[in-house]
Amino acid sequence: MQIQLIGIRKAFDGKEVIHPTDMTIEDRSFTSLLGPSGCGKTTLLRMIAGLETPDEGEILFGSRTVFSASQGISMPPERRGLGFVFQDFALWPHLTVRENVAFGLRAAKRTEGLDAKVRDALHQVKLDDYISYYPSQLSGGQQQRVAFARAIVTEPECILFDEPLSALDAMLREEMRTELRELAGKLGITSVFVTHDQHEAMSMSTRIALISKGSIEQYDTPENVYAHPATAFAAHFIGASNWIDDRTMFRPEEASLSAIDGAEEFLAKVTGSEYMGSGYIIHLEYSQRRWTMESRTKAESGSMLPIYIKPERIVRL
């Protein structure tokens, strides 16, 4: 399902938290709304869901208008046909896994074939043997899978994820990133994923909407957001960046200690080295700016190193 936002704007107590925004989320894509806390990404998600009402603009699901300020249309969340996966999983502690997953079907009075649908959803998330368990008997990762099964059992065309991995430990987050992305792709579901974690967004998404102070700074593939940041905010927020001046930067992996034909040369002072097993992270100072780069060999603090960067690898904003 394609989702279109046209001129969407939202203010709270007179303060504009989402500036007029146009955005198209493509059918079957995995789109991340990425940005720091308070940037407006969750408000944007809640407006798509129908949990917040925009002050202006329109929202279309395919050819269906679910919100229009000018036409007075505001379809409630339960009629938008969306699945939800929340940060705290929002499982009912007194219900078994089976009943938690079946809850949405019962609420929609879609009880025909209910048991088969529940079992199929649990099979998709590899929880066939946990159907009679209660949430308290499950690990964090298993609870996350139950929440996803509950979201897909109603066969939505789109699932909204509100920072669903933030409650998990680091290793489990990494495992669940892969599982959620693969499942969404396998089921052909449009996914909109809110996160403040750039690694989540980069590893899971087909497109990233990078948001700052209520505006979309860049909406592009992860590769382009990283390699071709559109704004200084994008360059600072995504990945590590070495700044030559206020408008010019390069990524640390683009720097070389070996001379390259046609490369630009910069003489930088070594301020320290960190051994990382496979090599070293070299800390440098150039024109009172701090740089880092990767190297197979250690560099002595206080020494001066020539750094070579291909001109096409230098980002000029």
pLDDT of residue 313: 94
Of 305, 300, 304, residue with least CA distance to 255: 305
pLDDT of residue 237: 95
Which two structure tokens, joined as six digits, stand for 185?
């792709």
pLDDT of residue 178: 86
pLDDT of residue 31: 97
pLDDT of residue 292: 96
CB neighbour class for 312 (10 Å; exposed up to 12, middle 13-18, buried from 19):
exposed
Q: Which residues of the chain are under the pLDDT cut of 70?
A: none
Longest dimension (CA), the chain: 74
Distance in angstroms between the alpha carbons of the first and the last residue of the chain: 34
Q: What's the pTM?
A: 0.90
pLDDT of residue 280: 95
In degrees, rounded to 5, the angle at the alpha carbon of residue 212 between the alpha carbons of residues 54 and 176 is 90
Domains and CATH numbers, the chain: 3-227 (3.40.50.300), 243-316 (2.40.50.140)
Of 299, 317, 314, residue with least CA distance to 242: 314
- Predicted confidence (pLDDT) per residue in 148-206, tens digit: 999 999 999 999 999 988 878 888 888 888 888 888 998 999 999 999 999 999 999 99
pLDDT of residue 67: 98
CA 120 to chain centre: 27
